[in-house]
Amino acid sequence: MEGHDEISAARAVRTVIDWKAAGWEELAPHVGRIRLPGWDATTGLVVGSGAALLIDTGSSLREGARLRADVRRLLGPHARVTHIVLTHPHFDHVLGTAVFAGAGTYGAVGVETVLGRGRDALYEDAVRHGLPADEAAEATDVLVVPRHRVSGEWTLDLGDGLQVLLANLGPAHTAHDLVVLVPGNPVTVFCGDLVEESGEPQAGPDAAPGHWPAALDRLLALGGEDARYVPGHGSVVNAAFVRAQRATLVARSGVS
């Protein structure tokens, strides 16, 4: 009976989600996002008929639980996240995943190596950036490795004709960058940290600066000139901003 309630709730709210009341930003009637405190990381939500896709899960189990509660506030008390896409394997985007029991998880092919064998490095990175050690340990102990790995493109059907596209554009910001394109007028593109608006694009030791401009070229080709591009950190931007950030990366790396 609960499964029926979940499906009914998601179907009923496709056009009546009160994003603002839950502190989320509405991008389309069935698409929203929130900028989480601390690292200003974006989490997105796409609501289909009986399906709810979460894009990134926050920096801790505490943030993941907050997102789970938000989904229920937005979609109804029995609603649950059915799909999760992790845009890249950095702590502020993946450490909340374990609270979403039963959700199908998706990541770029190869991300299983980072998340499956690199838990100590992920813990150390989280603590170095200010996450309390106990929260970092708790989250990395139950870290979820995506079961579904995207090597090129993957279409997810969320019901009633709503199909979102997952595209593996790495290596760039990391070796495993995955973006999500949601159809609409305009298209909404969740970019992960391939695009950042609240600061300069960050390139850590796992970045591939020489490949990053080409990844942005592919991003623009997929999204198009009129798309809304949702950065991993910061305000929603347009294609002109993405091209300007590409120029910044070219100047930094010397690769055109």
pLDDT score of 255? 82
Read off the tokens for 55: 């894009």
pLDDT score of 15? 54
pLDDT averaged per 10 residues in sequence order, the chain, 256 residues = 38 70 96 97 96 98 98 95 98 98 97 93 97 98 97 96 96 98 97 96 94 98 98 98 97 85
pLDDT score of 7? 38
Torsion angle (degrees, nearest 10) of CA 159, 185, 169, 232: -100
Of the candidates 44, 17, 39, 30, the residue with the CA atom closest to the CA atom of residue 189: 44
What global pTM score does this model have? 0.93
Read off the tokens for 146: 């995506």
pLDDT score of 9? 38
pLDDT score of 6? 40
3-state DSSP assignment of residue 46: strand
Buried b (16+ CB within 10 A) or exposed e, 143-182: bbbbeebbeeebebebbeebebbbbbbbbbbbbbbbbbbb
pLDDT score of 29? 93
